[in-house]
């Protein structure tokens, strides 16, 4: 609810888009892609988890151009926009430095790869974001190393609960229909665990105990990965209103360009 009030968007899922190609764009071209998507009607665009601070695009340049794109799109559409600026870095101090820079630019949201960064680093960043009015988008890069094998490792449900304890506003939770698929009931199980204050025991969804989160803030599930406009009815039915739907190639792959791709998603929603 805090997020909806901050963004002034109600009664529908939020729409996002991961900027592709992942790597190789200059900061200026990257900013242009961000602007086109946001102008077309998306609420958010997103740095890919691999986009950090490479020789062809240093983080500070990217933050500047993305902020410019943000404000230009906001001025033209009259809506509040966001771009998940990836603040993941080698040290906690460097991450906070990037988050501070994002806040100074006026960006509403930053992003963190919480498994590669680690839980303690994530908690530090989450506290900073909470104290300074930033939203925190959580990417689950590296989760498959831990949760893909059935006979060892750790189930994503556990990782999702750990994230809710650690702090964050959005987390990728599988799509049920795209390429990063998950079994439907199990996915809905951790969507419930992320969003609801009280979760009833439901063995079919893999929830073996009732979970009372008391007043711990919830996390919005993000559906992202190989989804496109034709998945929209299924996605809205599965995830409901309180979710973020991210179409990367499903936006940028539009034959007429990025902005029409964004328009198509908004209209379909």
Provide the 3-class DSSP secondary structure of residue 57: strand
Which domain range does residue 157 map to? 2-268
Sign of CA dihedral 144, 147, 149, 152: positive
Cα–Cα distance for residue pair 223/245, rounded to 1 Å = 5
Distances in Å between the alpha carbon of 67 and those of 73, 89, 97, 265? 10, 20, 16, 23
CA 93 to each of CA 119, 140, 149, 170, 173: distance values in angstroms, whole numbers, following the listed order: 15, 21, 34, 22, 28
Query: Is pLDDT above 80 for 143?
Result: yes
Residues identified as active-site: 20, 139
**Nearest to 84, CA basis, from 69, 72, 75, 92:** 69
C-beta of residue 46 within 8 angstroms of C-beta of residue 246: yes
Looking at residue 39, its pLDDT comes to 94
Q: How far is 196 from 74, CA to CA, in rounded Å? A: 31
What is the model's pTM? 0.92
Structural domains counted in the chain = 1
- What whole-number percentage of the chain has pLDDT above 70? 98
Distance from C-alpha of 109 to C-alpha of 191, rounded to nearest angstrom? 21
CB-based contact 260:40 (threshold 8 Å): yes
C-alpha to C-alpha distances, 197 to 164, 191, 212, 219, 245, nearest whole angstrom = 11, 12, 6, 11, 22
Residues counted in the chain: 269
pLDDT category at 177 given cuts 50, 70, 90 is: confident
**Kind and range of the H or E run holding 139:** strand 135-139
**pLDDT tens digits for 206-250?**
889 998 998 899 999 999 888 888 889 988 988 889 999 999 888
Domain harbouring 233, CATH code: 3.20.20.110
**Least confident window among 26-30, 174-178, 197-201, 224-228:** 174-178
Q: Which helix (H) or strand (E) holds 130?
A: helix 119-132
Convert 22-38 to b/e letters by CB count within 10 Å (16 or more is b). eeebebeebbbbbbbbb
Q: H helices of 106-207, where?
A: 114-117, 119-132, 143-147, 156-166, 184-195
């Amino acid at each position: 609810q805090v997020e909806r009030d901050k963004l002034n968007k109600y009664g529908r899922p939020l729409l996002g888009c991961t900027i592709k190609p992942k790597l190789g764009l200059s900061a200026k071209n990257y900013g242009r892609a961000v602007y086109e998507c946001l102008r077309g009607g998306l609420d958010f665009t997103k740095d890919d988890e691999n986009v950090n601070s490479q020789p062809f695009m240093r983080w500070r340049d990217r933050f500047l151009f993305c902020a410019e794109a943000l404000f230009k799109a906001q001025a033209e559409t009259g809506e509040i926009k966001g771009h998940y600026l990836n603040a993941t870095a080698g040290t906690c101090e460097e991450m906070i430095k990037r988050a501070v820079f994002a806040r100074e630019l006026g960006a509403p949201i930053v992003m963190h790869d919480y498994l590669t960064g680690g839980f303690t680093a994530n908690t530090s960043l989450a506290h900073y974001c909470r104290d300074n009015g930033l939203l925190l988008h959580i990417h689950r890069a590296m989760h498959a190393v831990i949760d893909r094998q059935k006979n060892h490792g750790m189930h994503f449900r556990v990782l999702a609960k750990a994230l809710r304890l650690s702090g964050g506003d959005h987390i990728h939770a599988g799509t049920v229909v795209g390429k990063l698929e998950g079994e439907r009931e199990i996915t809905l199980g951790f969507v419930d665990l992320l969003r609801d204050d009280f979760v009833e025991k439901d063995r079919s969804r893999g929830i073996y105990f009732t979970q009372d989160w008391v007043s711990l803030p919830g996390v919005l599930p993000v559906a992202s990965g190989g989804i496109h406009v034709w998945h929209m009815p299924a996605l809205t039915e599965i995830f409901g209103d309180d979710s973020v739907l991210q179409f990367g190639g499903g936006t940028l792959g539009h034959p007429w360009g990025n902005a029409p791709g964004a328009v198509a998603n908004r209209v379909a929603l």
